[in-house]
A and B are shown apart, each in its own frame.
Chain A
Amino acid sequence: MAVTGWFVALLCLGVVPVVAVGADPSRSFAVLAGWIALSILLLVIDVALAGSPRSLRITRSIADRVRLGEATTSELLIVNTGRRTVRALVRDGWQPTAGAPFERSRVIIPAGERRRIEQTLRPVRRGERRSEHVTVRSVGPLHLGARQATIASRGVLRVLPPFNARKHLPSRLARLRELDGATSVMVRGQGTEFDSLREYVRGDDVRSIDWRATARRSDLVVRTWRPERDRRVVVVVDTARTSAARIADEVRLDTAFEATLLLSALATRADDRVDFLAVDRRVRGRVTGATGADLLAKLVDSMADIDPDLIEMDWDAVPGHVRQITSRHAFVVLLTSIETPGASSGLLAVLPQLTRSHTVAVVSVTDPAVIEARNDRGDREAVYRAAAAERAVLDAARVAAAVRRSGADVVTGSPSDLPPALADHYLALKAAGRL
């Protein structure tokens, strides 16, 4: 049961007869009482004549997943099984960050008929968005009152990470092809594998001429090489306390996911196997054994509803997790933060265990605002801030130095630079055959 603005207007209209009957208070009061009684009678009749919202049957249809930043359409099919026409105002109970439009849908459904309502959802946050119910307000023929009912109807929309870093993918794939024997540019390194023999063309490295094969034939023959393949890449994302920090309007965890996606897309094209782990004190997400397009789909699905947890990271368990995935040599990427020696002591303690059998890269987002603050020496406050920023940079540098001493590489960058930086690091390792 609800009243509309028309009912309020109707009540206000009662001023006219009350004033018209003039000066006698008792007659005015009588008219007033009469008007109120008339208004309420009309309201009751109107509500009684409104089609029952309980007789509506609702069916949903919605894409089950959408990438963050894209829009999707949510459909409601409403069947009126009652005997009266329902003039309905419909509210779909999406969670706020599902990005449903604020306007309510108006729809008129004659008895026994069916109507479709479309809504464009623009989610503003990663994760699983739900709508548990649909509320219908059925307005009476006089538009004075309405009957209202909430009908349970579950809709679920999975919002995937945006993977904005995919714009860097084509250039990195081109670099990857350059590493491959398919192009004439040869890369020779200790880790590259012998691929095939072919005729010499101008521009080839003369050092790659295979003299024995040349002796067997009349032409110059060169060996071609291709980068090593079927290597393992294990990406470990730290989802604990420090990943909740927002740097340059992006949460550290989101940057880590972007970097993971770019690296995975690249590595799976390079025929390496990528495994993904999101951990804090427990395993929050795990993708193993997937390749190609399936890998990316599984990754974004697994990442969708991982949010930072305000607990301390359990680094001691990480070597065990990695060992479970592979016992072979692998490229282990730790996406975490290196800030102060104290906060990174857990990481530094387990790094030697990992570097003993794996190639390790510790990847961390740096805050551009800190560098900016360090270089701003405008006034007294700025100088103190610059000192604090310098201290933060020095602390991070000390941790980075300690990480390097443990035998791991350090990759840092601002949120926008980090994904390509990690991809470049991977390519460099691949070219050098260190995977």
Chain B
Amino acid sequence: MSMTDTRAPEIGEDAVITPRFRTRLRRAVFWIVMAAFGLLVVAVVSSMAGAGSTGAPPLDPTSADPEGAKAVAEVLEAEGVTVTAVASADDALGALESAGDATLFVVDTPYLDPSRLAGLAGAAGSIVLVDPSFPVLQELAPDVRIAGSAGGDGVDAECSDPTSERAERATVDNTYRIDGDVEGCFPVDGDRFGVVSVPGATPLTIVGSPAVFANGSVTNYGNAALALGLLGASDELVWYVPGLADVEADAPPTIGELTPGWVVPSLLLVLLATVAAGVWRGRRFGPLVVEPLPVTVRAGETMEGRARLYQRTSARLRALDSLRIGAIERIASLLALSRHADAGDVSAAAAALTGRSPNEVRSILIDAVPRSDAELVGLSDALTILEAQIRTLTDPTGRRAR
């Protein structure tokens, strides 16, 4: 309790607990090396896995991906077919007009605008359509309806169309149901067809499976024969893979175009500031301090537990007996009865003092059995009243109130 005791150990440089940056770096070298090695492994693996993919759209005539169609395009060129690859409807129209009576090969990508197809169909000699969506079918061939996937297995041609017949068997994925004088080939379950030919001013052939043309699967079954037969029907082929250029230029401006240029950088700055604020508030001011705390237990837990136990099991008589024993002992001491007096003696003495009937007092103190909680509460109250009465009557100051 005095201020005299002073601990003043000499503190040396080694008293600083926080390691220096150099020390920390040296300790972390192992983990840094491990992390660098891990990154290297990830980079190598991903570059090997992603080697075959260049991100080109599917069925691109210049793509060597498994999904591309460079194989078919090359073979067609070698066979003397002029392949003109275009990426927009305008270019496709131009190519068709300059070539005259060319075959138009249309790959349905999300950029394809169905309303432009009718114009293209007028200029083309024939059209091959791969895996068209519903709006495209509505526009070009209302008699053909989408009939779901057949799973991509090989299916026999089973029709009189010469091209299909030559192919004999081909991969069939998406299938179509047909009405009118449309001819279907490669049937699945009898009424769904993998390849559909729609006659008209511009003959239209719909192929449900892109796998027929893709590099990865063109050699399966008779896919190659089918692809080359369909696309090499005339000397000119316009290979149309709809791209970004098809998005209408006069469409309403997108949200991205409407936002001012500073919004994204500002958001980025706010994000950085949030991170900095996290570092500011999150930096711990020195190591955590530990303190072992003693155990304390609330007294009275056992009493509460026993009370709930009585109540849950409706142990009314047992509960009442506890109250009675306590009351009888207190009454016995108030009446100065001998320690050997039993409950009957106490009851009789209490009745004699209060002037109540012995049976009533005996019922309260000994005999009555509570059959419901209400009776228990009633008997408990009766006990309290009896005890209070005796306490008043035996008050040593002689006051006999009540």
Contact = CB atoms under 8 A, between A and B. Distances in A.
Contacts of B290: 95
Contacts of B9: 153-154
Interface in A371-392: 373-374, 377, 379-381, 383-392
A58 B7 CA distance: 11
B259 to A, nearest CB: 9
A162 to B, nearest CB: 13
Interface string A245-276: 11100011000000000000000000000000
Contacts of A156: 7
A244 B7 contact: no
B307 to A, nearest CB: 4
Contacts of A137: 285
Given A60-B7, A244-B295, A36 B303 contact: no
Interface string A1-40: 0111101100110110011011111111101100110000
Interface stretch (B198-206, B245-253, B316-324): B316-324
Contacts of A148: 18, 283, 285-286
Contact of A151 (B17, B261, B270): B17
6 contacts: A15-B266, A59-B8, A63-B1, A95-B290, A148-B285, A387-B307
A58 B11 contact: yes
Given A28-B262, A59-B11, A91-B285, A7 B272 contact: no
Given A57-B11, A392-B302, A150 B18 contact: yes
Nearest to B278: A8
A383 B17 contact: no
Contact of B322 (A7, A36, A387): A387
A171 interface: no
B3 to A, nearest CB: 5
Contact of A133 (B17, B272, B300, B329): B17
B260 A3 contact: no
A424 interface: no
Interface of A: 2-5, 7-8, 11-12, 14-15, 18-19, 21-29, 31-32, 35-36, 54, 57-67, 73, 89, 91, 93-97, 104, 125, 131-135, 137, 148-156, 244-247, 251-252, 307-308, 310, 367, 369-370, 373-374, 377, 379-381, 383-394, 397
Contacts of A251: 294, 296
B46 interface: no
A36 B265 CA distance: 11
A27 B326 CA distance: 90
Nearest to B286: A135
B299 A247 contact: yes
Contact of B273 (A11, A67, A369): A11
Contacts of A73: 3
Interface string B274-318: 001101100101110111011111111011101110110000001
B291 A95 contact: yes
Interface in B311-346: 311, 318-320, 322-323, 325-326, 329
A67 B323 CA distance: 44
Given A32-B268, A381-B311, A388-B307, A150 B287 contact: yes
A367 B299 contact: yes
A89 B286 CA distance: 11
A246 B260 CA distance: 66
B376 interface: yes
B297 A54 contact: no
A91 B17 CA distance: 14
B326 A374 contact: yes
A41 to B, nearest CB: 15
A29 B261 CA distance: 9
B18 A246 contact: no
Contact of B266 (A18, A94, A134, A390): A18
B265 A18 contact: yes
Contacts of A104: 285
Contacts of B381: 377
A150 B286 contact: yes
Contacts of A389: 303, 307
B170 to A, nearest CB: 49
Contacts of A397: 329
B281 to A, nearest CB: 9
A22 B260 contact: yes
A388 B307 CA distance: 5
Nearest to B260: A23
Contacts of B244: none
Contacts of A63: 1-3, 5
A336 B311 CA distance: 31
B171 to A, nearest CB: 46
A195 B307 CA distance: 58
Contacts of B1: 63, 65-67
A432 B188 CA distance: 116
A17 B210 CA distance: 52
A377 B384 CA distance: 9
Nearest to B268: A32
Nearest to A77: B8
B401 interface: no
Nearest to A67: B1
A22 B280 CA distance: 30
A27 B261 contact: yes
A246 B300 CA distance: 9
Given A28-B265, A61-B6, A387-B310, A377 B380 contact: yes
B377 interface: yes
B16 interface: yes
A394 B322 contact: yes
Nearest to B326: A390
Contact of A307 (B285, B289, B294, B304): B294
A87 to B, nearest CB: 15
B337 to A, nearest CB: 17
Interface string B163-178: 0000000000000000
Contacts of A133: 17, 286-287
B373 interface: yes
Interface in B334-380: 373, 376-377, 380
A19 B280 CA distance: 25
A23 B262 contact: yes
A384 B310 contact: yes
A22 B262 contact: yes
Nearest to A5: B280
B288 to A, nearest CB: 9
Contacts of A125: 293
Contacts of A393: 326
Contacts of B297: 244-246
B251 to A, nearest CB: 21
Interface in B222-239: none
Q: Which 10 A-B pairs have the closest CB atoms?
A: A135-B286, A387-B319, A307-B294, A25-B261, A388-B307, A95-B291, A245-B299, A388-B306, A385-B307, A390-B326
